[in-house]
Amino acid sequence: MKINSPLEAYKYLPQTNCGECGEATCMAFASKLIDRSGKTSDCPPLVKEKKFAKKLAELDRLLAPEIRQVTIGAGEKAVNIGGDDVLYRHKLTFFNKTKMFFDVADNMEEAALVARVKQIAGYKKFYVGRNLLLDGVAIRAVSNDPVKFAAAVKKVAEVGIPMIFCSFNPAVLKAGLEVAKDKNPLLYAANKDNWKEIGELALEYKVPVVVSAFNDLDALKTLAKTFAEAGIKDIVLDPGTYPTGKGLKDTFTNFLKIRRAGIMGDTEIAYPIMALPFTAWMAGIADPVSASYWETVMASVFTIRYGDIMILHSMEPYATMPEVHLAETIYTDPRSPVAVDSKMYKVGNPTADSPVLFTTNFALTYYTVESDLSSNGIDCWLLAVNTDGIGVEAAVAGGQLTADKVKDAFDKAGFDLKTAVNHNTVITPGLAARLQGDLEDKLGASVKVGPMDSGRLPGWMEKNWPPKK
């Protein structure tokens, strides 16, 4: 039985409040264990003292996620999949965002292969304060030739991103493993015909493996149980991904059944699930744009419903952008709004005569304001006030954005309006207009009320800046 409250975790801790974990109390550390921002290994007494050995082992068991977490790749770019505890995000949060691997074929020309791998590895999309990336490369053994496959693996491995080896031929997979022994690739896949040989490879090279049984959950569970009993712990499930019709409906239902069973305590099938949206290209859709569109639709469906890892094909921006954006949104932690650091930011190249504005540290608000200013060439100082990641209107209503907090933010940023700028003027968001009087009293500065929408700042600046003396 899992534990879900700090009080339950606290019973297994030393209860000395020694502070060696970096927290003031053991209860505070217990809270970090429950929300997964801390690990049991962060508590030195718990790990080092023999008298706590049984408690440590039991605590690790109780804290383990319902769905096993599996690592693919090695080093800084390694990715984790699985690790979830809930069916619905609002009950806690989803962990380990859906990982997206894009395919290459081992029979591609070397130049084309290298170019595509570099395109995948170099993909970057800035979104609300972070860069959205693609996660790895799935190498398909189209040639079924061990030598060709090994050569392709060697080229991809040079880039240093996680890999999936795709073949049902054990000899082909072994050839790839021989040239990438330390890369920890994911093997795809073991099925009813090759399970013994693939299982031996997974044990020999200590790599994660996919077990596959298309639209047969009993066979899938049997394969997973067989591998687990053989000592293979890092397993990924492939129940099959049909692109259209009744097959697609069955695929969706299978994903739901597997995840529900895993969360409800069926450890024999509590593993990450693989989706294969690139089967859209096998659905007989002649138009590449339509095939790419349908692949994106499938990726969206299985991002929302329990696909922990997927293999895709289209690298067109109209396909990749919605895929990575949706995954980022679904896996945003609802317990803590996305926020930027509370400090004074420079937009462009501000001087002592440039305007001074403030907004909240809610990332979407901050980057919207910053974008509206920078895209219109407005050099200014922009202060992000700590409102616990809440937007302007809600923060004013809830008391997270007050004149005292704005003054405190200026003080912490070391920005003195009387000496840093020549005009001693601050522009407040239009939605915070009610704070104008209090701000003037607290800051000892002139406060101008800006527009309700930051998109109107350029026009507002033309009429109201510089301020009249």
Computed over every residue of the chain, the mean pLDDT equals 94
3-state secondary structure of 397: helix
* 81 membership: H or E segment, kind and range: strand 79-81
In tens, the pLDDT along 310-322 reads 999 999 999 999 9
- In this chain, the answer to whether the domains covering 67-331 and 344-464 adopt an identical fold is no
Residue type (1 letter), 7: L
In tens, the pLDDT along 364-405 reads 999 999 999 999 999 999 999 999 999 999 999 999 999 999
Which position has the higher pLDDT, 469 or 172? 172
Is the model's pLDDT at 25 over the cut of 70?
A: yes
Q: Which residues are annotated as a binding site for [4Fe-4S] cluster?
A: 18, 21, 26, 43
pLDDT given at position 396:
95
3-state secondary structure of 298: helix
Length reported for the chain: 469
pLDDT given at position 462:
93
Residue type (1 letter), 338: V
Q: Which residues pair with 327 in a beta bridge?
A: none
CATH number for the region 6-63 comes to: 1.10.15.40
Q: Which residues are annotated as a binding site?
A: 18, 21, 26, 43, 359, 365, 389-392, 454
pLDDT given at position 5:
84
In tens, the pLDDT along 118-171 reads 999 999 998 887 899 999 999 999 999 999 999 999 999 999 999 999 999 999
Is the model's pLDDT at 1 over the cut of 70?
A: no
Residue type (1 letter), 119: Q
271: Cβ–Cβ under 8 A, 6 or more apart, which residues?
Answer: 67, 68, 70, 82, 224, 235, 236, 237, 262
> Cα–Cα distance between 182 and 160 in angstroms, integer?
11
Domain 67-331: CATH superfamily is Dihydropteroate synthase-like (3.20.20.20)
Q: Which residues pair with 309 in a beta bridge?
A: 99, 274
Whether the CB-CB separation of 301 and 279 falls below 8 Å is answered with: no
For 116-263, strand residue ranges (E) read 125-127, 130-132, 136-140, 163-166, 186-190, 209-212, 235-238
Q: Which residues are annotated as a binding site for 5-methoxybenzimidazolylcob(I)amide?
A: 359, 365, 389-392, 454
231: Cβ–Cβ under 8 A, 6 or more apart, which residues?
Answer: 203
pLDDT given at position 249:
96
> Cα–Cα distance between 424 and 437 in angstroms, integer?
15
Query: Where do the domains of the chain lie?
Result: 6-63, 67-331, 344-464
What's this model's pTM, rounded to 2 decimal places? Answer: 0.85
Domain 344-464 has CATH 3.40.50.1360: no
